[in-house]
Structures are given as C-alpha cells and as structure tokens.
Structure 1
C-alpha cells in the first residue's frame, strides 16, 4: 500500500485526484515482494516487530501561525478504526452506506492488522521509504525527498498564485514571470516533474489560454485537497516554501511518530501515514532543538482538549490529560446534542512530552428545532435532490455552465452529494459547492454547484425525532447496541414500523434510538418517518411478465390476468441512472413485476 501511495506521489497525479488516500487496492494476501522486503531485515538489532491494533483514517495537515489543522478525507467517519470495527462486516457495510464517497478496502485493513510489521521505529519516514523502495526504483535519497515534497509545493504554488490573480493582486505578466522563476525551475530540475510541466507550460503560455483552461484546472486541483475549504483571499497567502519545509519536517520524523504504541501493547497506524503524508502551509517554522549544556530531566506536560463551536464559543468544559513522559495518550470528540463535529486541530493521539499540547474539536449546529433539517447543510454533510436539478460549473446557473441534469427520482434512489463549500450567484442566490458521491453511477466524482433551495435539495439525515419510522430500504436495515453502529443486535426488513425514543448525533450524521435502546441509521433513503403502509398482495388486471431484475429484463415467467401475487418488497428501476426517472416495481416470489396502477391492483 505504501509503495503504491509513494509512486503515485512521484508521478504527481495532481489533476483529477491528488494522491488517493484510500486503502483501495492494497494487496490483501501478505505475499508481495514489498511485504517480504520489510520483514527480512530482522537481523538489524535496531528493528522491532510490531502488531497494528488500530488504524487512523486518512487526513491532510494544513498549518498556519495558530497551529496545525487535520482535514480528514472522510469527515463524517470516525477518526480511528479499531480492530473490532474493521473485523465487523456489518459495521463496515453500514459505514460505507453512511459515507457514500468512502472507498476503503476492508480486506486490506484486515491484512494490515493480521500481518506483523518489522521496522526501526527510530528511523525517519524518508529513510524507511528509501531503504524499502527508493533504491529499487532507481532513486537517490535526494530524489526521494524531491518526489515527496514537490507535489505539495506545486499545489500550494498554483493555489496561491492563481488566487492572487483572481483577486487582482497580481497581473498575468507577474504570474507568468513568477512561474518561470520558481515553479517551472523546480519542475524542470526534478526527475518527477515532467508529468506536470506540460500542463503548466500550456496553462501559462498566454493569457488567452490561461483564461480558457486556468479556472478549470484550478477548480480541479482544489476540489481534491483541503484547500477547497478556503477562500481566494486566504489562499492568496498560502506559502509554497513553507509547505515544502513542513513536508520535509514531517518525512524526517521517526516512524514512531506514525506508529503509536497503545496501552495494550499494539500500535496505532497514523492516518497521516495512510494518506501518504500530505501537508500545506500558510506559515511554518521548524523549532530547532538546542541542547542544554546542563540538561535536567524533562517533566511531562499535559494535553488540554477543547470543545468549541465554529465561532470559538466553549460547548463543553475543557479536559486535561496527564501521564508520564513518553506515555501514549488518546483524545476523542464528545457527543454534543444539537452539534456535529466539523474539524479537529492538534494531534488526537501521541505521547506526553516536555511541552504542553492541545487538541481542539470544533462543532457546527446539526439538529434544528423544526422541520427535517431543511436549513443550509454544514460542510461535509450529505444532501440529496428531491426534484430534478442541474450540476453547474459556476454558481451562476446557465445552460452553457450546466454539466449534468439529475432526474427526479424516488426517495430510495435520489442522487447524493457531499457539501464541500458555498457560493452565491451573481444575483446573490445561495448555492452548494458539491461532489457527486453516487458510487455506482457514471456521474460519481463529478464536482460543481447545485441549488441550496430547500424545495430541491435536502439533507440526507433526519435532524429531528419522529415517533415512528418505517424501513424503506429494499435490503432492510440493521440495529446495533452502539451508536457507532457496531455490535449488531437485529435486522429489520423493508416495511417494518419501528418506535423511536430519541435522535442523537454521530459526527455529522444522526441515529435513531429505538424504544428498545438499539441504534439504527437516520438516513432518509433507508428509513422514512411515520407509518408507511406496505402492499401485501397485488392482483394483475391483465396478463403480464415477471422478470429477474427491477429494470424488467430477463423475463422468467408469464403471469395470467387476475392472478394474485404476494408482495415481498418494492423498489424502483434505473437505480443508478440519474439521467432517467424511475418506475415502481413490486418484488414477488421469483422476481419483479410492474407497479403501474393500470396493470395491477394493490391490496394493503
């Protein structure tokens, strides 16, 4: 897995996706050459064999004078997956359902837990990567350093300079001159810079070409990084040299920084390692370690945990963690009624040191006092379209700017989007900046702008309690003993009506707590408020066919007129085709039949 991430970094895959932070295609057999290479060095007395017991979710670091902010690739997911969670099939399936854009290979994670790792924890990440893979790829250590730091530098340079041009702080001639004197020189000198050089040379060839392709490339670049969270005013101050220095600092740190020993003797693999170590900086200064000529033993300093809203107001009292120097610590966000976690600043796991540390959990309001949460959705939450909508290149909607139509669909098939930002049209109309997260659709991954009008888009998760809910997912839903949706207790079929005691937050999602104390998802595509009456039987008004699929393909039986059939469920056609509307189908023994009222009579 690490090798694939590194080679991706060296290839500078900047547009259409920076480094994929997901453990998507990691080898799950444990028999690769690389796995052998990392476990055949046991003769080195400095090395030790460790067992991974938990794995951090991937994140990217963005720093400024106030410190580091960790931007998680999947902000709605837990920040750490434990061994119990990774080995729980139901939990991982539910996680994938609740976070549609998450593409993590469960079997790869299980293999990482199963296979011990042999390495020198005092060796730097750079040395480790070079020893394991750099020499085999024909790189020098300087070449490895160059490959790991050039990408963040290039992204930061492009983001800051294009933002300055957008805000009128520099002219195109200045932009072109800066490119020739800084970024281009680095790309030309780098053995891995050629992949981007042809793109940037074309982009800055002339102002006409820049005006034509620059904006598209810029948007494509930002949407795949945490930099999409910042305005042009802020991005204009992004420092590519500081980004380089921070990257150099991170990859020079020992592997013990990324494999953190836990109380049970296992190690937690850092999410920063999973993401291939990515960092951007508005300001960074490495604080040198100056030896004291008469050193005294260092005393352990505390870790203070803050819980605040997006305005900096305290939501819960601070917590102070203490321990012996070198002992490990772990912080966790609290569940705060009415709020969902949106950002984490500081290191959630680490060791107690001689300097004080702090971790800040920032929340935004999630549960509102009325309706089903049709207020503006917080960044990182998922919305869906309730009517036909368009996806546009710009916040001002025009036919020319339209990228995709999404047809009006039945509730269980509605197209979903993750909110990545906000904008207004030229007339001041609010828009969502979004990413399409419909996995099985051809539109998956598309980015752009959609309406924020509550008549057309709504949040996918319920925000208020309902007395009863009905399971509408054709595959049913599971109930769990914990709100993290672990420890499965029951399965409820489509059509079952359940009593609800309350609703609770889980990061930026919500859960219903049933009257029996169990937790189920509050995803509107899986459950619906109130009692929804399910048809029990249908009678054919005329002869019709039964099919193997909901799209009525693969005919498997001819049904005569006036036949009475038991209904076992319902669904809709064209589930993953958003250019077409969908049509009701009834599931009966042996397959599916049409749900058209002209052809069948329903008995409830």
Structure 2
C-alpha cells in the first residue's frame, strides 16, 4: 500500500528539494526523431535561506483540540543540525536506538545531503517551489496537488471507514455501499490502482463474516504502518474525516514555502520535518469530546491575515496587494482583478479557504495582454512556441535596424519553418509589438540565439493547433508516435507520413496541445508535424525529362540516372535545406534508393 501511495505522487518531496532549480522549459520533442533539447526561461530574483538544520519526520494529526505532531521515531531528537548530520558517531547513535529496523541507516545516512540552502521566489507557494525545484513545467502544480490529496484521500478513507466498521458505526452493507459509491469510482480514474481495487473487490466478495473482519483489519493495519501510526484506539481512528484531511493537505501545499522554514536564534533556518514525511497529515483524528483545561492557554491561537498578491509570470507586482482578516476558522474568499493591459493566466488553488493561526498568501498570476493586427487577437503566451510564416529577422533590440540585426530567416515550407520560444513581450519606440524569443531550431547554426522578432500575426503564428479538426494528416517525414497519456508517455503506435487520422477532440497540456484520436490515443498538435484535413501527395511520378537520383534531400551524392518517361513509386516527401534558415527550401520526393526533384518542370504526379 505504501508503494502504491508513492507511485501516485509525482515524486518524493524530499527529492524535489534536493534536485536543484531548473526553469520551466519547452522542447520540440513531439517527433519520434527530434532531439529533446530544452529551452529555459529567464530566471527571476530569488531569496536564499541558509538552512543549517532539519526537523525529523512526523505525521501531523489535527482535531478540535489543535494540531499534534506524532514523530515517526520517538527516541530521536526533534531535529538534527548540519554538524550532527556530518558526525558519524552521532548518526550511528541514531541507528543504535532502532536496532529492529535494519535499513534505518539508509535514511540517517542522507540527512547531511538534505540540509542545503533553499532559494525562493517572492511569495512562492510550497507547491510551486517543489515543482520548480524538480524542473517541472509551469502550471503543473495542480496535477501534483491532485496526486498528494489522492494519497490523503486513500489513507483517511480506508482507516476511517474500517475503524467505523470495527466499532459498529457502520454495518457491512453500509461499508460496502460506501466503497462502491465513493472509493471505487474515484480509484478507477487513477492509474496504478488496479491492484488495490482488485484486493478490495475480493475482500467484499468474502462471504464469511469472520474472514471479512480479519481482512479489513489486515488492510487497515497496513495503512497505519505506512502512516507511522497505530497506537490510537479504533474509536479515535473512527473520527477521521476524509474531506477535512484532503482540505488540510491542499491548504498545506498552497501555503507559502516560508511556513516550513523556521528562523533560528543564530540567523539560520531549520527545514520543517513535515517536508521529510511528504506532508503526511490526517484531520479530526481524535474523539471530539475534550476535557476542559482548568488553566486556559495563556497564548491561545489567533487568526492570521490572508495576503492576496497580483503578479506577472516573473513575480512582478501588477496591482496592489490586498489583506483580508477574519476570525479563526471563518471562511475567506478572494477574487481576480480586472487589470488594464493584463489577463489572468493562473488562479490559485487556495482562492477560497479559512482563516488559520498561520499567515497565508493567495497569488493571482497575469500575462501581458498585447494585441496584434486589426483583429485584436491576443499574442502567443509567454513560454509557448511560435514559428515564422514569412521571411523575418532576429534583432538585438526592439529597433529593427540593419545595425541591430542578428540573423535573417528565409521563408520556408511548413515542415522547416524556423521556431522560437516566447520569453517576453515589448514594444518598439513607435509602438510596434515585439516578441522576445529564443531560437530553438536545434540542428541549425542559429540555435540558442536570443533577441526580438515581430509579433505580427501575418509573419509569425503559434506552432500548436488550438481548435479541433475532424482529420489530420501526418506530414513529418519520420512519422509521429501515438501515446496513452497526454504528456506523450506510454507509446502505443507509430503513424507514418501521409497517414490520415480521425480526431475526437483537442486538449491542452501546459503550453501545448494534443489531438485525441477516436481510438483514445494522444498525438502531437504541432503544425510542423501534422496538418489539419487530408493532405494528398502523388503515389507515383513520371519523369518529364531525364533526372538524377541522389542520396540526400539536398540532391548531393548522385547514385542513379533516370530517362524521360520513367515511372517511380513515391514513398514520402521532404524539403531541402531543412536546417539552413538562410536559404529557402524545395520539394523533394523520396523514392527507392534516395531522392529526386519535386519540380513540376521535371516530374509529374500520376495516380
């Protein structure tokens, strides 16, 4: 069961913290043969926290009495300093306290490597930092939160319902109805849960009541072992509320990452042990009945404010902050603002919530809203890919003068159009719209160059389709792959150039799109690799004059001569000068043994 939970999460949070900061990137990786080179976006100013100690892992349990920490290894101290973590004698002492756990050294031996400085962007939430640290794509935090809350849902549902059954609060029929109406439908939507569903189906199919009770106890015990708990009574476990547990997990992940960095007396910081436990937490754990304290808490928990930020993708403020206050436990709600020249690009997961004893931040992210041409269409979003429709140039500055020109890109066929990643927006002195870009034509001499190009929609356009079409034709000479997942993983099939595919719908994946075929498979929606509708090319050609065959599409290395009126079978098509953007390209037909010209003066297509 514990392995299943880890499979559902994107990765261990501890590993994310140690992975280093990698900016979100977009790569031209849809083709089955294209290099997976990445392009990083501009780095934003960060604040580094000097972490010199780390809290040891614990499970957070909460109920009406407050929040409690249940440390996984009660004989250990609550935290370890960098000096202690690098002391072999100290580490061996930790190991000796738990001789019954033979592989405990696998954890203690890594403590020193976990105590590293942490750099955060202004107002960065925990989930955004973890995704960024792992090199994840911008906007993928919601997927991560869904995975973590699913893990919490599983553990809280299984433990809570099992305990309520064991204590007589649920009949077997009620327990089974909850499973079939709640748990099973949710698990069926998640990859990797087939074994769990099969196990529970078998348990509920058991006719003997004593055997059924024994199996439920065993399954519940495994989950308690995975959460490092189990000393609580069944009556206490029966108070677990799945919805509260999920809401608590979501609140922790959307809280500022600084909540888990604790300032020490010497000015250094300690990383909270909740990070090492992968935010293991359950809510409403204990019995609600609480014996009144004759001596009230001299420092009762008080509500802390919620600060609302309005920033662009680089963290720059685009509207004044708002501060919300309210009583502890009461609800708050925030709203996006209408900001001139900006459009909302990311709504926070914690736009609504409750006031807690910890300060919270809610961040709305906006993109510049720049118009092009007379139609008023919005330009491609930052981080997305565009390509050149006509001849264009790359410039050092927004002023498009010969002195500022870096390179010129010739007009190319669809397959070979020069491609760029948008890293920003600006205007020239005269008000003309410009893209700030990075050249991502990986096999060309211009790859990696940065500068400015026009943002006119008649000259540049998005690389990916945004609207559904009924059919697409594969145009990439090497074909394309079809996958089971929209992130183009789990390859299912390969489609060759010229194949016509039926499309069910189009879906978004980060800053790109995918076509979903009628068979449920996902393929790229990159216009350089596929084209909407049915594109036909001749299956045979006849030579109108004598022509030569060559080994390359640039018509070099001649390897055969054909006389006039020779019929040749066409196996594909491509264009010359694929990676030379200073020259235009020309159609070539692929035939057995090489390539011949596609010029209609020399060859003619036949049925």
**For the superposition of Structure 1 and Structure 2, which TM-score range results when normalised by the shorter chain?**
0.3 to 0.5
Answer with 1 or 2: which has the greater Rg: 2
- Give the structure-2-normalised TM-score: 0.47
